Structure 1
Amino acid sequence: MRPILLVPAMLLCLGAAQAATPAPAPAAPTRLDHILLWGRGIDQATAVMAVKLGFQVRPGRDPGGVANRYVRFADSSFIELLGITRPDPVFDPGMKEDRQALKGGPGSRTFGFRTSSLDAIHRSLQALHYAVTPFFSGPDGAKPGWRLFAFDRAPLSSNTFFIDYAAGYAPDQFDPINADDYRVTREHPNGARELSSIWLVSADADADRRQLERMGFGHAVPVGLPEVGAKGFCVPVGPTALLALQPDGAGLAGRTLASGGPRILGVSFGVADLGRAQRWVERGYERELATYRGLSGESFLAPTQDDLGLSIEFHAMQPTGSPCAGASL
């Protein structure tokens, strides 16, 4: 599955008309689903994820010179890896815009919300005069798959879409009755189990917060991330958190924004054994890494900016609760 790349309007720029009434809160369950992460090449991205970071990477497809692969998690979230495999890849306008904004380098500018209330949210956003696209579906219409809509003018500083999946669908396996394969494909050597947060960086975190509130995602909590030199807001999205950040003094957030513009600054994963994940990443990068008290408790940051164009945070899994409970400014 590569839904974001099949929608030409999905990766265009920001804007939304004002409306007299706020959007109703999206019907549960809605959560963060996945990011699209471009590597310098598909094999390079795969090697970093598997060898340096300890993820299991699953096969994908290469229909037009842009290959994809998957890192899937026990909570049903995933990372979709993308890489160019030939000199003249077939880009749709969204892919082309993404590559131009990333200047041909690694990184991510697009993420998805997953919801079982796709039609209701589409109607709600239309009523608020958001420039939503029609629905798109895949992968080929012959089997149950995914259905999504995006935006002709993206409402956030990074691009987004809303998606839902048919029962049993998984993009790296089309046999939903094979429960053993389903389980095994979500087990990682580093112990990663869940996607907990996605971090957006822009020059105006409050603008993203206001848009999210208008779209139905309120209850933002101020947050500071001194480890990357950022501050902003933690916005709960079901069991996950979307961080709307801006630079706060010198640090990685400021350097990233200055060199590459608004994008996904980082992504955070809960692991079953933090020490195990830390040892794997320290061996992969041949350096010692310090832990810190982060939004989700004890955490460490993998030094992935040069390899992947974003940061990857690992943290010890926490008891179920508000995803922004640990936020503080």
Structure 2
Amino acid sequence: MRFASLLCGLVLAAGTTVPVAASEAPAAQTTQIDHILLWGRSIDQINGVMSVKLGFQVLPGRDPNGVANHFVRMPDRSYVELLGITQANPKLDPGMDSDQAVLHGGPGSRSWGLRSSALDQIRAFLQEQGFKPTQMFSASPTDPDGAGPSKPPRWRLFAFTTQPLSTTLFIIDYPPEGLKPHPAIDDKVMREHPNGAKEVSAFWLLSANADSERKQFERMGFAGSVPVRMPQVAASGFCVPVGSKRIYVLQPDGAGTAADALHSGGPQVFGVSIGVEDLALAKRRVERGYETTLANYKGLMGDSFLAPTQNDLGVWMEFHAMAADRPCG
């Protein structure tokens, strides 16, 4: 599922598709956060952090051109895609080049996706609002990880020729859950994690102007944002509701962690929130992995702790106790 490889074509493409009638607002209720593209210093380094230090199950992917991708998949279908360069002089597409021009071989994330079952309607709505979505792209009928040429493609997506936000957004859809090339039991097993993780519940997007990002989300149809502060990383901004999940659009709140990250890396996926079944178990795993003691705090998602992942992953990982839907506010 080489989304990083695709982003070059998505960002540069200017094709059109047959118009689809858009409603007055996009089907925001059908949309959820999907995944981020997270680079490591190498694929082995990032796999080790995610599995040994944090307690996730990491699934292998593919490595056709010297850039491997692996996955951390959650029971609710959200996930993190892990990327790492595996050989000298890898074949990098412009999207990868753009990431590496900022990361210089280091860890971090600049690209992320939303998932929607109303992909065509949302694309049409965004065009009406003056955004510039690319043409629709889909997996090859002979995709080795797909269900075969007679089945729907394994994914469909579009990005933007001009990005509406300071990070790279794409919107994706998948076939129904029943159309899988592997048994249901395998699908269940690959989403079970030793640390008890159940969902990626929020993305944290860091920029110099959180209010500008909030206004762009409203133009895209995601209304109802509320102000938030994250003192644990010296950031403030807004919580944007996306389905039952959240996107935090943040900016530095004075000197501190967020200001340092923005100064050194520019706009970025600054962190993710992970909902876990047993917070004490997850915390103990991370404490053993990092050989340190961590403190709990009452965060925006309730009882939480912050794993010290910024140096290893280029993003923060916040773990919080699972609960019912937590809309912004």
TM-score where L is the length of structure 2: 0.91
CA contact (8 A) 2:75 2:192 kept: yes
Give 1:45's aligned amino acid.
I
Alignment of 1:226-305 (within 5 A): 226-305=231-310
Give 1:148's aligned amino acid.
L
Instruction: Label 1:303 to 1:23 Cα distance change in 2 as closer, same or farther (>3 A).
Output: farther
Give 1:312's aligned amino acid.
M
Instruction: Report the equivalent of 1:47.
Output: 48
The Cα of 1:129 is off from its aligned counterpart by 2.1
Deviations 1:189-218 (A, max 9, x none): 100001110000010000100000000111
CA contact (8 A) 2:28 2:221 kept: no
The Cα of 1:320 is off from its aligned counterpart by 2.5
The Cα of 1:264 is off from its aligned counterpart by 0.5
My pick for the range that moved more, 59-68 or 312-321, is 312-321
CA contact (8 A) 1:23 1:216 kept: no
My pick for the range that moved more, 208-217 or 83-92, is 83-92
Instruction: Label 1:71 to 1:303 Cα distance change in 2 as closer, same or farther (>3 A).
Output: same
Instruction: Report the equivalent of 1:158.
Output: 167
Instruction: Label 1:39 to 1:69 Cα distance change in 2 as closer, same or farther (>3 A).
Output: same
Taking the aligned partners of 1:311 and 1:139, their CA distance within structure 2 comes to: 34
The Cα of 1:182 is off from its aligned counterpart by 1.0
My pick for the range that moved more, 40-49 or 135-144, is 135-144
Taking the aligned partners of 2:56 and 2:127, their CA distance within structure 1 comes to: 39
Give 1:101's aligned amino acid.
V
Instruction: Report the equivalent of 1:125.
Output: 126
Instruction: Report the equivalent of 1:320.
Output: 325
My pick for the range that moved more, 136-145 or 37-46, is 136-145
Instruction: Report the equivalent of 1:207.
Output: 212
Taking the aligned partners of 1:293 and 1:105, their CA distance within structure 2 comes to: 31
The answer to whether structure 1 residue 174 and structure 2 residue 175 are counterparts is: no
CA RMSD of aligned residues (A): 1.7
The Cα of 1:9 is off from its aligned counterpart by 4.5
CA contact (8 A) 2:136 2:158 kept: yes
Alignment of 1:73-84 (within 5 A): 73-84=74-85
CA contact (8 A) 2:11 2:134 kept: no
Taking the aligned partners of 1:77 and 1:321, their CA distance within structure 2 comes to: 16
In the comparison of the two structures, how many residue pairs are matched?
311
The Cα of 1:11 is off from its aligned counterpart by 5.2
Taking the aligned partners of 2:140 and 2:46, their CA distance within structure 1 comes to: 23
Alignment of 1:99-118 (within 5 A): 99-118=100-119
Q: Flag structure 2 segments of 5+ consecutive residues without an equivalent.
A: 13-22
CA contact (8 A) 1:158 1:264 kept: yes
Taking the aligned partners of 1:140 and 1:158, their CA distance within structure 2 comes to: 30
Instruction: Report the equivalent of 1:17.
Output: none
Deviations 1:258-316 (A, max 9, x none): 11100010000100000000000000001100010001100000000110001000000
Taking the aligned partners of 2:203 and 2:279, their CA distance within structure 1 comes to: 19
The Cα of 1:4 is off from its aligned counterpart by 3.9
2:282 match: secondary structure: helix
Instruction: Label 1:308 to 1:125 Cα distance change in 2 as closer, same or farther (>3 A).
Output: same
1:190 match: secondary structure: coil
Taking the aligned partners of 1:169 and 1:245, their CA distance within structure 2 comes to: 38
My pick for the range that moved more, 54-63 or 87-96, is 87-96
Instruction: Label 1:11 to 1:199 Cα distance change in 2 as closer, same or farther (>3 A).
Output: farther
CA contact (8 A) 1:26 1:217 kept: no
Q: Percent identity?
A: 55
Taking the aligned partners of 1:66 and 1:58, their CA distance within structure 2 comes to: 15
1:28 match: secondary structure: helix
Taking the aligned partners of 1:141 and 1:294, their CA distance within structure 2 comes to: 45
1:194 match: secondary structure: strand
Instruction: Label 1:157 to 1:23 Cα distance change in 2 as closer, same or farther (>3 A).
Output: farther
Taking the aligned partners of 1:25 and 1:137, their CA distance within structure 2 comes to: 21
Q: Flag structure 1 segments of 5+ consecutive residues without an equivalent.
A: 13-21
Alignment of 1:8-87 (within 5 A): 8-10=8-10, 24-87=25-88
